[in-house]
Amino acid sequence: MWYFGFAFSAAMLPAGTVSIRKDDVEVETVKALLVGGNVVSCLNPSHTATIEAAKARFGLEVSIPEKPPRVSLISGDTLVLMQVRGLPRLTDRHEYTEEEVSQASFSFMTISVL
């Protein structure tokens, strides 16, 4: 199973000894995975502005579930992560400006359970 999210937690892993592999990936790889429709979105609705920023910057199309699923990775599963640095916390508004999005840095990785 493939998942897409913003964070990774050890709580997502099965009990016991687990081997994982982390790879940096390009946005084109992420876009191709998302177009296939075989990726479960584990995003939080409170991060809608960040998803909109990724859509504006890269054309990423990611659904936002009403309630994010609880992810329990098993052998063969992969989590696609998008990390964003440089976007301010939205305390008094609900979206980012074009300038804020253009100045932020986005990186992508996969974490696979072997």
Give φ, ψ of 43 to 5 degrees: -85, 155
Whether 28 is covered by a domain: the verdict is yes
Supply the CATH number for residue 25's domain.
Answer: 3.40.50
- On the CB side of 34, CA atoms within 13 Å amount to 23
- Higher-pLDDT residue of 15, 97: 15
What's the whole-number average pLDDT of the chain? 92
Tokens at 3, concatenated: 């998942």
Is 112 inside any structural domain? no
What is the model's pLDDT at position 91? 77
Percent of the chain exceeding pLDDT 90 equals 67
* Token pair listed for 8: 């990774």
pLDDT tens per residue across span 10-30: 999 999 999 999 999 999 999
The sheet that has 39-41: what strands, in order across it? 20-25, 105-113, 78-85, 2-5, 39-41
- pLDDT surpasses 90 at 46: no
| Domain of 45, in residue numbers | 2-10+18-107
Confidence of residue 95 (pLDDT cuts 50, 70, 90): confident
Tokens standing for residue 70: 């609880």
114 located within any domain:
no
If residue 39 lies in a helix (H) or strand (E), which one and from where to where?
strand 39-41
> Is residue 113, in this structure, part of any structural domain at all?
no
**Would residue 58 count as lying in a domain?**
yes
Residue 30 lies in a domain: yes
Global pTM value: 0.88
Q: How many structural domains comprise the chain?
A: 1
